Amino acid sequence: MSTEVSNGHSPLDRITVIELAGPPGAWAGGLLAEFGARVIKVSRAGAAPVRWGTTGMRPLTSPEERERYAAFNPFDRNKESITLDLKKAQARQILCRLVERADIVTEGYRPGVAGRLGADYETLRRINPRIIYCAITGYGQGGPYRDMVGHDINYSAMAGLLDLTGPPGSRPSTCGIPVGDWMGGMSQAVIGILLALVARHTTGDGQFIDVALTDGIVSTMKGHIASYLETGAAPKKGETVSHGGAPYNDVYETKDGKFVAIGCWEPHLYENLCRALGLEDLLPLQHAAGEDRERVKRALTRAFLARTRDEWFEFLRDRDVAVAPVKSLPEVLEDPQVRHREMVVELEHDRLGKVKQAGIGIKLSRTPGRIRRLAPPDGRDTEKLLRELGYSPGDIQHFQKDGVVDRYEGDR
C-alpha cells in the first residue's frame, strides 16, 4: 500500500539508513525519511509486532490491527520494513549486505547488545568504512550508569528536568510528551547524523555517534546551568520566569473554566497587557518581588475571570499582547493556523480510505519534506529487499523456514 503524496527532489535522496531497535531512533529515522532518505527498518523476526502509543505498549495480534496501526503511524511512513533474527548467522550476513550499500545505521540497544548481535560499529565499519553509526542510549556508551535500563521519565529525572517541572511545592511532574526522548534522543541523533554527513563529505570517512538521552536533556538546560554556575543559586520549581515565577509569563483561568497563556516578557508587551486590561497601576511592577509580585498575580487572576478564553484571545491578539488559548488536542487539530501550515494531512489508504496524520514540521522552500508512502506493517518489504540483495526465491524460502526472517502474510 504505497501512497504518493508529492514528487520532486529531497535533500537526502541518495542516503540509505538501516534502522535497528525502535524509538527514539525510529523517530529520528522518520524525520530523515521525510526528507528523502531511504530508511530500512529492521524488526526482530519471530517477535510480536508492538503498538507504541499514549496508552503504553501492547502487541498487535491480527493482520488487520497491524495494518490499521501502520496506516496512522507517522513515525514509520516512507520506510521499508524487513524482519531479521540477528541471533542467527544468516541474518547477520543479510544485515552486512544491507550495510554495504548504506550510509547510516541507527540503533537503540543497551550498550554491548549490538556487539553480541554482530551489529556494532567496529564490525560494520570493516564492511563499509563510510558508514555513519548512531547509537542512542539512555546514559551513553561509558560511565557508571551505562548499563542501566530506563525510559524517558528516568532520564528526565536524572538530568534534573523533573525537579524543575510543576507548581511550587508540588511533587515532580512529567511533561505531556516524552520530552527527553524527543529533545535528548531524536533531535540529538538527527543533528549528529547530519553533522557526520557533512564531515564525511570532506573526509570521506564515517564515524560513531554516541547519543545519550540524559546528555541531551542536560544540554537543553544550559540556561539554568549557566545561571546556577554564575550565581550559586539553584533554580527552584515554579520560581523560574519560564515556569510560573513571573505573573507576566503564566497561565490564567477564564470565565468559562478554560485557560489562556500569557507570555509578555518584553517591557512593551507587558505594558500592552496592562493597558488592555485597564491595569495601568501595575506598569512599574513587571519585575517586582514578594508582596508586589503577588499583587500583580492577584490582579491578573481577577481580570481574566471577566471573559471566556476565546473572547480574551480575540481581544488581546489585536492589541499586540503575547496570548494564546490553552487548547485540547482535538482543538489543536482544527485550529486554522495548524491547518494553514499543513500540520494535519489527509492521506489515501487502499483499504481504509482516507486517514489523517500529523504533517511535516520543517518547511524547506526548494526541497520540502514529502510523504511518499504510508508506514509498512513489520516485514512487508522483506522478500523485496532480499531479492534486491541478490537472494534467490529458494534462499528466501530457506530463510523463512529457519526463522531467519518472517514470512509476511499481509496483502494476501
- Burial letters for 328-352: b for 16+ Cβ neighbours within 10 Å, e otherwise? eeeeeeeeeebeeeebeeebebeeb
Per residue in 195-205, pLDDT (tens digit) is 999 999 999 99
Distance CA 248, CA 265 (A): 7
Residue 186 C-alpha cell reads as: 531524536
DSSP letter at 375 equals P
| Cβ atoms 271, 319 nearer than 8 A | no
Helix (H) or strand (E) holding 52: strand 50-53
Distance CA 30, CA 399 (A): 28
Distance CA 244, CA 170 (A): 12
Average pLDDT of span 349-364: 94
pLDDT at 174: 86
Helix and strand counts by DSSP (H, E) for the chain:
17, 13
Residue 313 C-alpha cell reads as: 484571545
Q: Inform me whether the pLDDT recorded for 8 exceeds 80.
A: no
Q: Which of 278, 276, 357, 281 is nearest to 319 (CA)?
A: 276
Name the β-bridge partners of 344: 358
Q: Inform me whether the pLDDT recorded for 405 exceeds 80.
A: yes
- Burial letters for 41-70: b for 16+ Cβ neighbours within 10 Å, e otherwise? bbbbbeeebebeeeeeeeebeeeeebbbbb
Per residue in 79-123, pLDDT (tens digit) is 999 999 999 999 999 999 999 999 999 999 999 999 999 999 999
- Residue 222: band (very low, low, confident or very high) from pLDDT cuts 50, 70, 90: very high
Residue corresponding to grid cell 494476501: 412
Residue 390 C-alpha cell reads as: 541478490
pLDDT at 411: 54
Strands 249-253 and 259-263: antiparallel
3-state secondary structure of 374: coil
- Residue 381: band (very low, low, confident or very high) from pLDDT cuts 50, 70, 90: very high
**List of domains in the chain:** 16-220+340-401 (3.40.50.10540), 245-253+259-325 (3.30.1540.10)
- Residue 241: band (very low, low, confident or very high) from pLDDT cuts 50, 70, 90: confident
- Residue 177: band (very low, low, confident or very high) from pLDDT cuts 50, 70, 90: confident
Amino acid at 89: A
Average pLDDT of span 344-357: 93
Kindly report the number of other CB atoms within 10 A of residue 101's CB atom: 13
Distance CA 63, CA 377 (A): 8
* Strand positions, DSSP E, 203-322: 208-212, 249-253, 259-263
Catalytic annotation, residues: 181
3-state secondary structure of 59: strand
Helix (H) or strand (E) holding 97: helix 89-100
